[in-house]
Amino acid sequence: MDDLYSLAVQLGGHLHALKVTLATAESCTGGLIGHLITEVPGSSAYYVGGVVAYSNEVKARLLGVSRETLELCGAVSHRTAEQMAVGARRLFGSDYALAVTGIAGPTGGTAQKPVGLTFVALDAPEGTHVRRFVWSGDRHQNKLSSARAALELLWEYLNANP
């Protein structure tokens, strides 16, 4: 987890230097991304807040994920992650928002959506970016991998779009 903390420190320094803000919307990570970000002293300068949207009701009511998306695509889908990120950015009025939804395990998977399936999204002024992963670890490892993937997505985006 030390390397995750180092990534959060680097990312925080970058966000602070750019004078931009970040919000999060988390499902399968249960607030881990927000935790990692707020472990960094001074994170209040760039982190405005987050939502742990574990239920579909919260995804819909707070983040604006459409009921149609939840019914047709499911809570763990590209479209849901995208709408979660867009909704978090809108809700918090931030410059950027990260979202994650997935099946951490050990149960809950299906043939179409196996344990470890995770979608990570970034909503930025220039658009929304979503990545799909299938982790093979246990629940704890899958949550850590998902949080790392979210932080890395933002890090890569900021470095490619200065």
Give the pLDDT confidence of 97-151 residue by residue, as tens digits: 999 999 998 888 888 899 899 999 999 999 999 999 999 999 999 999 999 999 9
Residues 10 and 139: their CA atoms lie apart, in Å, by 26
Task: Spell out the alpha helix ranges (H) of the chain.
Answer: 2-18, 32-38, 56-61, 67-72, 78-92, 139-160
- Spell out the domains of the chain, with CATH numbers in brackets: 2-160 (3.90.950.20)
Give the pLDDT confidence of 48-74 residue by residue, as tens digits: 999 999 999 999 999 999 999 999 999
Specify the residue for token string 């949550």: 143
Bond before 125 cis per omega within 30 degrees: no
